[in-house]
């Protein structure tokens, strides 16, 4: 009787180990930071930590101050450049527009903002080619603080701002929209805000 109990206990421990050891190893690897996956599903450059943006010094084309909650409530794709909007600016704005349109039913959750660092704004071109684009004059001294939060080469980038107003990702504006679209789709799928 004693021998069969001991044997039964051993079998039970072996069965428990078969199920629990892999879980314990996975837990140790993941939370113990012993191993991290090599790749990332993110196509753009993450801004870590995300930077909260404070809307200050921005003005609409008519000179009125921009709404303080401009970057809140929706996902925002931001382009920063000269308001005269040269060829690279036009390419970036087209990429932002096409990406938003490609989101189909989710496009109402995304807005586009153009921050003009001077010569605001090529209103005829923007009105004709980019309806719904929010073009703002960011040439004031107060707006420099906001612009300083955007890293790297701002003239050739599209930035993603989350619905809480945090700058979180940078995309190269000289490439196709596939990477930006991929990241936005993932963010919209995972997010319950905005």
d(C-alpha 26, C-alpha 36), whole Å: 11
Strands 134-137 and 110-116 come out as: parallel
Measured distance CA(77)–CA(34) in Å, rounded:
36
Sheet holding 45-52, edge to edge: 45-52, 166-172, 157-161, 75-81, 110-116, 134-137, 59-60
Q: Are residues 30 and 55 in the same domain?
A: no
**Domain total of the chain:** 2
Q: For residue 33, what pLDDT is reported?
A: 66
- State residue 107's pLDDT score: 93
What pLDDT score was predicted for residue 109? Answer: 95
- Does 52 share its domain with 86? yes
In this structure, the answer to whether residues 26 and 117 fall within a common structural domain is: no
Q: Which token pair is 20? A: 């629990």
pLDDT in tens, the chain (194 residues): 588 888 889 988 899 889 888 888 888 877 776 666 665 677 788 888 889 998 888 998 788 999 989 999 999 999 999 988 889 989 999 999 999 999 999 999 999 999 999 888 877 888 889 999 999 999 999 998 899 999 877 878 999 999 999 999 999 887 766 888 999 999 899 888 87
In terms of domains, do 17 and 83 share one?
A: no
Token pair of 68 as six digits? 């303080």
Spatial separation of the C-alpha atoms in residues 180 and 38, rounded to whole Å: 21
pLDDT of residue 39: 59
Range of the structural domain that residue 95 is part of: 45-190
How far is Cα 103 from Cα 29, in angstroms, rounded to an integer? 36
Q: Provide the CATH number for the domain around residue 145.
A: 3.40.30.10
Asked if omega into 30 is within 30° of 0 (cis), the reply is no
Q: Which of 141, 92, 86, 99 is nearest to 114 (CA)?
A: 92
- Helices vs strands, H then E, count in the chain: 5, 7
- According to DSSP, the residues that pair with 23 across neighbouring strands are none
pLDDT of residue 29: 78
DSSP β-ladder status, 59-60 and 157-161: unpaired
Q: Are residue 64 and residue 143 in the same domain, yes or no? A: yes
Same-domain pairing of 27 and 76? no
CA distance 132 to 108: 11
Residue 85's φ and ψ, nearest 5 degrees, are 60, 80
What is the pTM (predicted TM-score) of this model? 0.77
107/148 same-domain check? yes
């Amino acid at each position: 009787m004693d021998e069969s109990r001991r044997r039964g206990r051993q079998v039970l421990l072996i069965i428990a180990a078969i199920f629990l050891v892999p879980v314990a190893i996975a837990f140790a690897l993941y939370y113990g930071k012993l191993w991290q996956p090599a790749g990332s599903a993110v196509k753009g450059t993450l801004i870590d930590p995300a930077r909260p943006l404070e809307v200050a010094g921005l003005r609409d084309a008519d000179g009125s101050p921009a709404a303080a909650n401009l970057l809140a409530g929706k996902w925002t794709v931001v382009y920063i450049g000269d308001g005269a909007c040269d060829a690279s600016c036009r390419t970036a704005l087209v990429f932002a527009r096409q990406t938003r349109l490609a989101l189909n039913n989710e496009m109402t959750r995304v807005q586009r903002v153009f921050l003009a660092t001077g010569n605001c704004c090529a209103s005829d071109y923007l009105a004709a080619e980019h309806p719904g684009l929010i073009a703002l004059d960011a040439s004031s001294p107060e707006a420099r603080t906001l612009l300083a939060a955007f890293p790297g080469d701002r003239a050739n980038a599209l930035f993603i701002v989350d619905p809480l107003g945090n700058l979180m990702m940078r995309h190269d504006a000289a490439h196709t929209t596939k990477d930006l679209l991929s990241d936005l789709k993932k963010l919209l799928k995972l997010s319950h805000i905005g």
